Amino acid sequence: MYAWETFFERKVTQIRNNELACMRRAALLNALANSACLLTPYLVSTRLSTLLALHSIHRMTITQFVPYLCQLVFAAILWVKLRVGTHTGRQYRPVTVYCYF
């Protein structure tokens, strides 16, 4: 065995490992993109049906309902932040959120 063969073998192995890592990342991103494309219609339809169900329950017009829904969502986000903040030791100040359309 020649002296340069082990050096060359290490270089080729290193390059091949880098190539495999790139191929794994590309395959993962491809899988995520494909799953996002497949799940998007389902997620949109469930969110739309939820929005229509809430709209029919509250019996408001759409122009009244959208700001109301924004305030509900922001209140839920603030509630989650306050709950998480008590467990992590971080303090969140209450914030008044206004939605204008």
Averages of pLDDT over runs of 10 residues in the chain (101 residues) are 84 93 91 86 78 72 75 80 61 56 46
CA distance 65 to 55: 7
Q: What is the pLDDT of residue 13?
A: 94
pTM of the model: 0.45
Q: CA torsion, points 9, 14, 18, 19, in degrees to nearest 10?
A: 0
Question: Contact at 8 Å (CB) between 95 and 63?
Answer: no
Q: What is the pLDDT of residue 101?
A: 46
Q: What letters, b where the CB count within 10 A reaches 16 and e where it falls short, cover 45-59?
A: eeeeeeeeeebeeee
- 3-state percent breakdown (helix, strand, coil) of the chain, nearest 5: 80, 0, 20
